[in-house]
Amino acid sequence: MTAIATAFVGNSFIIGADGRRTDSKTGETTEIAQKVFCFESDQIRLAFAWTGTTQAADGNGPVWDLIAATHQNLPFAAQLAKAGFHSFISEFCNRLANTLPICMNGLPTDELARVLMVGYFQGQPFTLQVQVLYPATIRMIYPSGIHIPAQIHKTVFSGGESMYPPYADKQPQNTVEAIAFVRGYLRDCVESSNPDCAGIGGHVHIAELTPEGCKWIESPQISN
């Protein structure tokens, strides 16, 4: 499980995540995984973070890795940005789907993983979620919850549900309050002993994204 939170206050997005990840091949857990990433092109500035089953491996190595596939496919999708936002995201989804195996036995038949993207497309702020589903043996990947331009908002994208209530009514009005919202929720998840936060932990890292680019508020300790 990954804890992800974001807030948009009109001139910037704040997005952060925890740092715990278990390697699908070795079973080893790290507390300093990087889960928030930035991407820039002529038309696009965005940050993204995945939650769910983002990778799998067998004896021969990785079977799929959604984070690596996102890094690989965003530059190709960005080449279609001049044709419009939907051309960009459709190309990204199509390329991402083609990196996944067609038949994946033994996996859940509903949601496999989700990615949150926030950023600026040709200067307009947007938020986007993409779900990866595997009902039966039919692969489906599609965007959901597209908002362009984005409205002033704050979102707890994933994490422990027991941590939601204190943040439900918070309304950040500026960047300082947005950072406090994201940091507070993530640290509550990391420090909680509640069962629904059991997979959350490690180093919290937070980025700020503006039309000019991305910078770290709290840097990740490593990149992977």
- CATH number, position 113: 3.60.20.10
- In the chain, how many domains are there? 1
Q: Would you say residue 183 lies in a domain?
A: yes
Q: Would you say residue 40 lies in a domain?
A: yes
Of 59, 53, 39, the closest CA to residue 100 belongs to: 53
Q: How far is CA 148 from CA 12, 145, 219, in A?
A: 14, 10, 28
Q: Would you say residue 154 lies in a domain?
A: yes
Distance, CA of 8 to CA of 190 (rounded, Å): 23
Q: How far is CA 114 from CA 4, 15, 33, in A?
A: 11, 15, 18
Q: Would you say residue 115 lies in a domain?
A: yes
Q: Would you say residue 94 lies in a domain?
A: yes
Q: Would you say residue 224 lies in a domain?
A: no
Q: What is the pLDDT of residue 136?
A: 42
Residue 119, strand partner residues = 46, 126
Low-confidence ranges of the chain (pLDDT < 50): 105, 136-137
Q: Would you say residue 90 lies in a domain?
A: yes
Q: What is the pLDDT of residue 139?
A: 58
Residues present in the chain in total: 224
Q: What is the pLDDT of residue 104?
A: 53
Range of the domain at 213: 4-218
Q: Would you say residue 223 lies in a domain?
A: no
DSSP 67: H
Q: What is the pLDDT of residue 137?
A: 44
Distance, CA of 116 to CA of 127 (rounded, Å): 7
Q: What pTM, to 2 d.p., does this model score?
A: 0.90
